[in-house]
């Protein structure tokens, strides 16, 4: 074997640690609900032990076909994951377009006068402003005040007044590119590629908006919750005869497993928030800014 033993023990320890870790797990949300199920189970078993043997109703097992519940549940979680991953890809594509567009503006736009350099730097910072405003928009938060470090006060006020700040910033960038083309600091091919990258930015804004604005249809989400509740509450009647006082704990455990699977979906279906299970958008925007600063620090292209 080529595997050193300490490596193995580290990875095993990590496995066990993760199995019991709370941060990012669904335990905090799921545990109270499953305890309610458990309490109901205890109540049923108490009544059963008091002589209410008519509470033993194994027929309730056919209320909800296991197959139907299982497929609905897993489908719900997988759809939620698809949204999460699509959101991540959209952000990957935004990062990409920002990197490529920044490089092209920096390298391709010809600096004719001394005022051209600051204008170019401003255009690069607009790219970061675009990403940050998309982030704020998806979180339904107002523009963050740190943006003033990247744009002028008047631009900031302008952004606060418009309906959709990201689109406004995209418009500024497009306008800048067109202007550079008109004064012949950019050739037609370069203008074309740059505008395509700008389109890519706006397209991916659209993808994120779609994910944000279209949750899984309510009919689906609600009916699944109803099925889960019915399933969990019908359990004690099926098992009380065999399990007696163990009915409560077993019901709680089953509730935990099933409600947990549903909770995963709830946590990841809107990936743009601030939970431990959401995308690290703040970090992504931070990295973007650092890339731009690195680019600006790079010695200017020789004319």
Among 35, 36, 95, 202, which residue sits at the site for another protein (rule: CB under 8 A)?
95
Among 113, 115, 161, 188, which residue sits at the site for another protein (rule: CB under 8 A)?
188
Under rule CB under 8 A, residue 119 binds another protein = no
Residue 91 neighbours by CB under 8 Å, 6+ apart: 204, 208, 279, 281, 284
Mask for 198-227, x = binds another protein (CB under 8 A): ------------------------------
How many CA atoms lie less than 13 Å away from 85 in the CB half-sphere? Answer: 6
Under rule CB under 8 A, residue 273 binds another protein = no
How far apart CA 135 and CA 69 sit, in angstroms, is: 36
Site for another protein in 225-244 (CB under 8 A): 235, 239, 242-243
Residue 270 vs residues 175, 215, 251: alpha-carbon distances, Å: 33, 8, 30
Q: Is 86 exposed, middle or buried (0-12, 13-18, 19+ CB in 10 A)?
A: middle
Nearest to 33 by CA among 218, 257, 276, 269: 257
Nearer to another protein, 143 or 284 (CB): 284
Under rule CB under 8 A, residue 184 binds another protein = no
Among 192, 225, 274, 282, which residue sits at the site for another protein (rule: CB under 8 A)?
192
How far apart CA 108 and CA 256 sit, in angstroms, is: 58
Whole-number minimum distance, CB 166 to another protein, in Å?
20
How far apart CA 170 and CA 101 sit, in angstroms, is: 12
Under rule CB under 8 A, residue 103 binds another protein = yes
Whole-number minimum distance, CB 147 to another protein, in Å?
22
Residue 172 neighbours by CB under 8 Å, 6+ apart: 126, 155
Whole-number minimum distance, CB 143 to another protein, in Å?
26
- Where do we find the tokens 């908006």? 209
Whole-number minimum distance, CB 162 to another protein, in Å?
29
Among 189, 214, 217, 218, which residue sits at the site for another protein (rule: CB under 8 A)?
189
Under rule CB under 8 A, residue 249 binds another protein = no
Nearer to another protein, 118 or 189 (CB): 189
Among 39, 148, 222, 298, which residue sits at the site for another protein (rule: CB under 8 A)?
298
Q: How many residues of this chain interact with another protein, rule: CB under 8 A?
A: 76
User: Which stretch in 39-47, 119-127, 208-216, 255-263 sits in contact with another protein by CB under 8 A?
Assistant: 255-263
Site for another protein in 54-73 (CB under 8 A): 66-67, 69-71, 73
Under rule CB under 8 A, residue 183 binds another protein = no
Residue 134 neighbours by CB under 8 Å, 6+ apart: 94, 166, 205, 208
User: Which stretch in 46-54, 126-134, 217-225, 254-262 sits in contact with another protein by CB under 8 A?
Assistant: 254-262
Site for another protein in 5-64 (CB under 8 A): 8, 11-12, 15, 18-19, 21, 23-27
Site for another protein in 128-167 (CB under 8 A): none
């Amino acid at each position: 074997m080529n595997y050193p033993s300490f490596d193995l023990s580290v990875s095993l320890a990590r496995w066990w640690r993760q199995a019991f870790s709370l941060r990012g797990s669904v335990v905090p949300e799921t545990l109270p609900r499953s305890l309610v199920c458990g309490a109901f189970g205890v109540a049923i078993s108490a009544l059963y032990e008091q002589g209410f043997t008519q509470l033993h109703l194994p027929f309730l097992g056919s209320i909800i076909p296991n197959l139907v519940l299982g497929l609905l549940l897993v489908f719900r979680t997988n759809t939620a994951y698809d949204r999460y991953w699509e959101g991540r890809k959209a952000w990957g594509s935004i990062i990409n377009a920002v990197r490529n567009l920044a490089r092209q503006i920096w390298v391709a736009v010809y600096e004719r006068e001394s005022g051209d350099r600051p204008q170019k730097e401003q255009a690069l910072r607009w790219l970061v402003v675009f990403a940050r405003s998309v982030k704020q928009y998806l979180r339904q938060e107002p523009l963050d005040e740190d943006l003033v470090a990247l744009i002028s006060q008047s631009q900031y006020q302008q952004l606060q007044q418009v309906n959709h700040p990201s689109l406004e910033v995209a418009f500024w960038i497009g306008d800048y590119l067109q202007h550079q083309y008109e004064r012949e600091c950019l050739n037609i091919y370069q203008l074309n590629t740059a505008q395509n990258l700008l389109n890519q930015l706006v397209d991916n804004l659209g993808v994120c908006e779609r994910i944000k604005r279209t949750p899984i249809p309510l009919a689906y989400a609600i009916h699944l919750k109803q099925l889960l509740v019915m399933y969990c509450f019908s359990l004690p009647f099926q098992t009380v005869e065999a399990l007696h006082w163990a009915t409560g704990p077993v019901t709680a455990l089953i509730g935990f497993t099933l409600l947990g699977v549903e909770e995963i979906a709830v946590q990841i279906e809107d990936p743009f928030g601030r939970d431990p299970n959401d995308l690290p958008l703040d970090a992504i925007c931070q990295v973007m800014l650092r890339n731009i600063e690195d680019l600006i620090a790079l010695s200017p292209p020789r004319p």
